A and B are shown apart, each in its own frame.
Chain A
Amino acid sequence: MAAITSDNHGLRLAARYAVLVLIAVIFIFPLIFMLMSSLKPDQQLLTDTESLRAFLPVGDISLDNYFAAFRRAPVGLFVFNSVLVTGLTVLLSLVVCSLAAFAFVFVDWRGRELVLTLILATLIVPFETIAIPLLLISANLPWIGLEGVTRGWLNSYQVQIVPFVADGLTIFLFVQYFKDLPGELIEAARVEGASWWQIYRRVVMPLAGPVLATAAILKFLAMYNQYLWPLMVVQQERYRPVMVGLQYFFQLNRAWGEIMAYLSLITVPVLAFYLFLQRAFIASIASTGVKG
C-alpha cells in the first residue's frame, strides 16, 4: 500500500480545488458577462463577445443601460410585484406545508398514508397539464375584497399566490425532515402536557431551521421565475411580475444592453435571499447526507 505523504496529499488537495474552481467559474461567468454587458453600449457589447473582453469592464462603461431600462419598463413595480408575490407565497407555503407534514408524520389518523401518497404523486404532474383547468377555476372564484364580493381572480395578486401555497415537493421535504426527528421528543412533549399545536410551535418548528431554509429557497426560486402562469392570468401592468416584464425588452428594437441591465437588476433579490439563507441551506444539504 502506498504511503500517503504530505506531498501527494497537497497535490490531491490542489487538484480538488482546481476542479472546484473550474465548476465555480463555469457557473459565475454568465453572471459576470451579464453584469459587464449591462455597462456597455450595444455596438461594443456585440463586438466584445468575440473575445475575453466580454467578461471585463473595458471600453465605454456607463450606467446608461440602467436608466434606459427604467425608462422602457416600470422595473421597480415589477420587482415589487415579484418580491411581494414570492415572499407571501414562500411564507404561506412554509406554514401550510409544514402543518400538513406534521399531521402526516406525528398525528395518527386513518388514511394518512393514502393521502400522502396522492400528494406525492402530484410531483410527477407537469404544471402545463393543469394550467388550463386552473385558469378556468381561477377565472370563476369569488373573492371578498375592499370592493365587496367579486367573481374571478384574474389580474390580481392572489391568483399568483394561492395556487402555489401548497405543493407536493415542499410537503415531501418537511415530511422527510420530521421523520428524522427523534420520536421521543414528541412523546416527551405530550407527556409534559403539550397540545399538538404547542408541539408544532415549541418543539418541532424550532428544530426545523435547515428544512425551512431549503424549502424557502426552492420555493423562492420557483416563484420568482414564474412566467407561464402570470402570463396567462395577468394582463394588467400593475400586477405583472419581473419575468413577464422581460417582454418589454423584446419588442421592436431589441436593446441587449438594456436587457442585461434589467436582468442584473432582477437578479439582486435572488442573490440577497440566497445569501441570507445560505448557511442554513448548506447545513440542510449536509444533514441530509450525514446522519448524526
Chain B
Amino acid sequence: MARVSLSGIKKNYGGVEIIKGVDIDIADGEFTVFVGPSGCGKSTLLRMIAGLEDISDGTLTIGERVVNDLPPKDRSIAMVFQSYAIFPHMTVRENLAFGLTIANAPKAEKDAKVAEAARILQMEHLLERRPSQLSGGQRQRVAIGRAIVRKPGVFLFDEPLSNLDAALRVDMRMELSKLHADLGATMIYVTHDQVEAMTLADKIVVLNAGIVQQVGSPLELYHRPANIFVAGFIGSPKMNFLKVRVEAVDATSVTVGSADIGKLVLPRANATAKVGDEVTIGMRPHHLTVGGAQDITGRVVLVERLGNETLAAVVLGSGQQIIAALPGDIDVAPGQELHLATQADRASLFLANGLAA
C-alpha cells in the first residue's frame, strides 16, 4: 500500500500542454476516481503515474519515493487496461504469473500467489484456459488477477469496465468495491462514466481540459459542486441551469429572480454575488417536485418512463428547457402544462465566471 502525491504535474505534447499543473494527494488505501469527458487528460494522467508517459514538469511521489524517472516496474504499481491486455498466447495461469516469471520467482511462490489471486477472484477453474476461451467478464478478471499477484502499492485502472455489457458492468463494479475493501490497497481508477465514479470512489477528481475542476467525496461533488462544469458533469440526468438575476443579497441569503422561476431565496452565507449580477441557478432534476409554493411553470415536451421514475422535459416561458425527475407512475403527457417546485436550499448558484457563488 502507498500514498500517491501529484504536485504541479504537467504534460506537453510538442508544445501543446495537455495536463496543466495537477495537484492531488491520494491517501494510503483510498479509492480515487479520475473522471471527466473524453480528451480531458484523465488517462494521460494515469499513464504518467504508471510510467508509460513521461512527466514534463512537476513531482510524482508514490510511497515515500519520487518516481518521476523510474520505469513502470520500479513504481510499485499494477495496471488494468481497458482492452484487458492479457496475453493471448498464454493460459490464464501463465498470464497471472507473468510478472513473477519475468522476475524469475521460485515456482512455489508463483503457484501460491496465483492460487491466492484465483481464489480471490473465484476463477480457480479457469487457470488452464486460454483467453480466447473466456468471456469478457472473465478476461477482465484475469487482468485484475494479474495485478493482484504483483501485490502492488497502487492499483491503476484505465476504464476497465467500458468493454463490458451493462449488466456485467454493474456486477464488476460491485466486485471491484469488494476487492478494494478486501485488499485495502490504494486504487486509482479512470472513467468517463460518472455513475462508476459515484459508486466506487472514496474521492473523485473531476478533470476538464487538463485541469482539476474539483476534488471531493461523491456526495460533496453532488451537493456542492465547485463550478458549473462539475455541476453539469456529476449527476444523472444532468443538473438544470437557468439564467437569473440577483435581486437581493444579505448575510445569510441570496434572492434571485426571473420570469421563469419568479423569486427564489437561496440560503447562502457570505455569498460573493452582487445585486444586479447575471448568474446561473442550478437545480437537480430530482429536486424538482410537482406543485408546491414556488411555481416554475412550463409545458411538457417529452416524457421518458423508466418505471421507478419518470423524466419529463419541460419548456419554460423563456424557451429554456429543464428536466424533472418525477415519481414513476405520475400522470403527465406531452403538451400538458406543469407546475414544478424546487427546493431552494438544495439549488446551486454560479457566477458569470462559472464558479459557485
A contacts, CB < 8 Å to B: 182, 184-185, 187-194, 198, 202-203, 206-207
Contacts of B103 in A (CB 8 A): 193
Which partner residue on chain A sits nearest B73 by CB separation? A193
Output the residue of B79, B85, B146, B150 with the most chain A CB within 10 A: B85
**Which parts of B84-113 form the interface with A (CB within 8 Å)?**
85-89, 98-99, 101-103
**Which parts of B50-98 form the interface with A (CB within 8 Å)?**
50-52, 71-73, 77-79, 81-83, 85-89, 98
Q: 28 A-B Cβ contacts within 8 A?
A: A182-B85, A184-B82, A184-B85, A187-B52, A187-B81, A187-B85, A188-B81, A188-B85, A188-B146, A190-B71, A190-B72, A190-B73, A191-B51, A191-B52, A191-B77, A191-B78, A191-B79, A192-B73, A192-B98, A192-B146, A193-B73, A193-B102, A194-B98, A194-B102, A202-B102, A203-B87, A206-B89, A207-B88
Q: CB < 8 Å: which of B52, B81, B99 contacts A193?
A: B99
Contacts of B87 in A (CB 8 A): 185, 188-189, 203
A54–B172 Cα gap in the complex (Å)? 70
A193–B99 Cα gap in the complex (Å)? 6
Contacts of B86 in A (CB 8 A): 188
B73 touches A191 (CB 8 A): yes
A62–B68 Cα gap in the complex (Å)? 78
Given contacts A184-B81, A184-B82, A185-B87, contact A192 B52 (CB under 8 A): no
Which partner residue on chain B sits nearest A198 by CB separation? B102
A192–B98 Cα gap in the complex (Å)? 7
Number of interface residues of B (CB under 8 A): 24
A93–B137 Cα gap in the complex (Å)? 41
A189 touches B98 (CB 8 A): yes
A206–B98 Cα gap in the complex (Å)? 14
> Knowing that A185-B87, A187-B52 are A-B contacts, what are 11 other residue pairs whose CB atoms are under 8 Å apart, sorted by A's residue number?
A187-B50, A187-B79, A188-B81, A188-B86, A188-B146, A190-B72, A191-B72, A191-B78, A193-B72, A194-B98, A207-B88
A192–B151 Cα gap in the complex (Å)? 11
Which partner residue on chain B sits nearest A182 by CB separation? B83
3 smallest CB-CB distances across A and B, nearest first, come from A193-B73, A188-B85, A184-B85
CB distance from B347 to the nearest CB of A (A): 44
Q: Is the interface of B mostly helix, strand, loop or mixed?
A: loop
Given contacts A191-B52, A191-B77, contact A185 B102 (CB under 8 A): no
Contacts of A198 in B (CB 8 A): 102
Contacts of A187 in B (CB 8 A): 50, 52, 79, 81, 85
A247–B83 Cα gap in the complex (Å)? 58
A184–B156 Cα gap in the complex (Å)? 14
**Which parts of B14-54 form the interface with A (CB within 8 Å)?**
50-52
Contacts of A188 in B (CB 8 A): 79, 81, 85-87, 146
Contacts of A184 in B (CB 8 A): 81-83, 85
Contacts of A191 in B (CB 8 A): 50-52, 72-73, 77-79
CB distance from B187 to the nearest CB of A (A): 15
CB distance from B44 to the nearest CB of A (A): 13
CB distance from B151 to the nearest CB of A (A): 13
A194–B73 Cα gap in the complex (Å)? 8
A185–B88 Cα gap in the complex (Å)? 9
A192 touches B150 (CB 8 A): yes
A202–B83 Cα gap in the complex (Å)? 19
CB distance from A102 to the nearest CB of B (A): 16
A206–B146 Cα gap in the complex (Å)? 19
Which partner residue on chain A sits nearest B54 by CB separation? A108
Which partner residue on chain B sits nearest A199 by CB separation? B102
Contacts of B51 in A (CB 8 A): 190-191
A190–B77 Cα gap in the complex (Å)? 11
CB distance from A11 to the nearest CB of B (A): 37
Contacts of B88 in A (CB 8 A): 207
A87–B86 Cα gap in the complex (Å)? 34
CB distance from A80 to the nearest CB of B (A): 35
A191–B149 Cα gap in the complex (Å)? 13
CB distance from A181 to the nearest CB of B (A): 10
A192–B73 Cα gap in the complex (Å)? 6
Q: CB < 8 Å: which of A182, A189, A190, A207 contacts B89?
A: A207
CB distance from B153 to the nearest CB of A (A): 13
Contacts of A207 in B (CB 8 A): 88-89
Contacts of B52 in A (CB 8 A): 187, 190-191
A78–B71 Cα gap in the complex (Å)? 52
A188–B83 Cα gap in the complex (Å)? 10
CB distance from A285 to the nearest CB of B (A): 20
A193–B103 Cα gap in the complex (Å)? 7
Which partner residue on chain B sits nearest A186 by CB separation? B85
CB distance from A89 to the nearest CB of B (A): 27
A207–B88 Cα gap in the complex (Å)? 8
Output the residue of B51, B81, B82 with the most chain A CB within 10 A: B81
Mask: chain B, 227-247; 1 = CB below 8 Å from A; 0 = not: 000000000000000000000
A192 touches B81 (CB 8 A): no
CB distance from B273 to the nearest CB of A (A): 48
Which partner residue on chain B sits nearest A190 by CB separation? B72
Contacts of B77 in A (CB 8 A): 191
A203–B103 Cα gap in the complex (Å)? 15
Contacts of A193 in B (CB 8 A): 72-73, 99, 102-103
